[in-house]
Amino acid sequence: MEKKRSTAAVIFLISLVLSLLPAVVLSQAVQGWKAPQDVVEKLSKSQPRYNYYEEKVPAYTLPELLVTLDGKKIDNSDAWTRIRRPEILELFRENVYGRVPETPYEKSFRIVSENRNAMGGAATLKEVDIEILSEGKSLTIRLNLFVPNNAGKKVPAFLVINNRGTDQADPSRKIKNEFWPAEEIVSRGYAAAVFQNSDVDPDNFDDFKNGIHGLLDRGERKGDSWGTIAAWAWGASRCMDYLVTDSDIDAGKVAVLGHSRGGKTALWAAAEDQRFAMAVSNESGCGGAALARRKFGETIETINRAFPHWFCRNYVQWGNNEDSMPVDMHMLLALIAPRAVYVTSASEDLWADPRGSYLSLYNSLPVFRLFDRNTSLSDQMPPLNSPVNSGNTGYHVRDGVHNLLVKDWNWIMDMADKVFRL
């Protein structure tokens, strides 16, 4: 008799546990991604100056997206385009990235080589020199471009801002890696374009004497003089200048993509240059997609101390003073509307604040809805390795560390397929 009771009790407990499983799974799905606790503790121990605990994020209020500087509410796409967008663009030029000088220059394009049998015949490789000339001085940006053969029509393109070594974007394809998987990009029907950010401006503090700063800067630098990220973004636009002339490229379907500091650059390039139909920010963090007011991981004070050349001098004043800054990064993403923006994070890359990056995208949605009222994302992050998109906005958080991998690329291209209706 006791044995029967014991068996019945076990069966009851098993049934109870099974009955609760759907609720547990549902709860996790609604809650979405959370930073791995072991990663939080490890980073907090190794970098005690910085916050990696969500419960320590301070309360904050984001600047209004749809209220003009003189207090008028914006409720339609026309008013956004004519009034509010130019205001916000100027605020970012003044306070974050700086403004491009108006120094006149000439540019020219030269196809240095063209190999119609690249990638075993799958693509044509064009190596293009973009020459910038001003007052007798010149600078050359090398653009490497793989175009799918036998497409039978103009193709969309991904323009990658390479902030790593040249071996990470090898046009000979003797060296291959996941950072720029040109073969996979071409096989999906896209042209794969890349330029080296150092061709435009060096990634070190040289008092802005070299690169495009040395070519175009005139007179004494001001608080809103452009930094290196703005210079790299300018370089992306010069590559776009070439792409619109290439008869193989659908110039209305060019996505600009960058990783880390390149991701910051891609967002600013798309904000400044509306010819880019899509911007992809891969783990761009502080000064990119992540909300500054969260003060999570890398902060404004930290980034300006480590990389004093990236931003304009005025940006320094917002270190440890984020709540007074007239912008935050949801406004940067909103500048790209109604064009597409895709933001990515990695689960162990807490320095770049995955949650702050998603919240930035989420808080940019009121502007995207002015153009497409059906655009909607959850206020909760998606689960790990579960991309989400709505309208022209999308996001994923991948497992692993700070990097750009084929897994990221596949999800990015899935989004681009939708945006470009491929």
Catalogue the active-site residues.
260, 402
Residue 336, helix vs strand vs coil: coil
Rg from Cα positions in the chain: 23
SS3 content of the chain, % helix, strand, coil (to 5): 40, 20, 40
Instruction: Tell me the β-bridge partners of 371.
Output: none
Question: Which two structure tokens, joined as six digits, stand for 189?
Answer: 């029907």
Dihedral pair phi/psi, residue 268, rounded to 5°: -70, -35
Angle between helices 85-92 and 261-272 (to 10 degrees): 140
**How many C-beta neighbours within 10 Å does residue 71 have?**
7
Q: Specify the amino acid at residue 329.
A: M
- Number of residues that this document lists for the chain: 422
Which residue, among 214, 212, 198, has the nearest Cα to 142 in the 3D structure? 198
Note whether 235 and 199 are within 8 A (CB): yes
End-to-end CA distance of the chain: 68
DSSP-derived letter for residue 180 is S
**Class of residue 77 by CB neighbours under 10 A (exposed 0-12, middle 13-18, buried 19+):** middle
Q: Report the 10 Å Cβ neighbour count for 361.
A: 24
Token output for 113: 């080589």
User: Which are the contacts of 44, defined by CB distance < 8 A and separation ≥ 6?
Assistant: 52, 53
- Residue 295 gets the label, from left (phi > 0), alpha (psi -120 to 50) or beta, of left
Tokens of 409: 């690329």
Report the candidate in 104, 105, 92, 115 with the shortest Cα–Cα distance to residue 267.
92
Minimal CA–CA distance to 394: which of 365, 366, 373?
365
- By the 8 A CB rule, do 280 and 342 touch? yes
Q: If we measure between CA atoms, which residue out of 188, 180, 144 comes closest to residue 163?
A: 180
User: How is residue 91 written in tokens?
Assistant: 């605020």
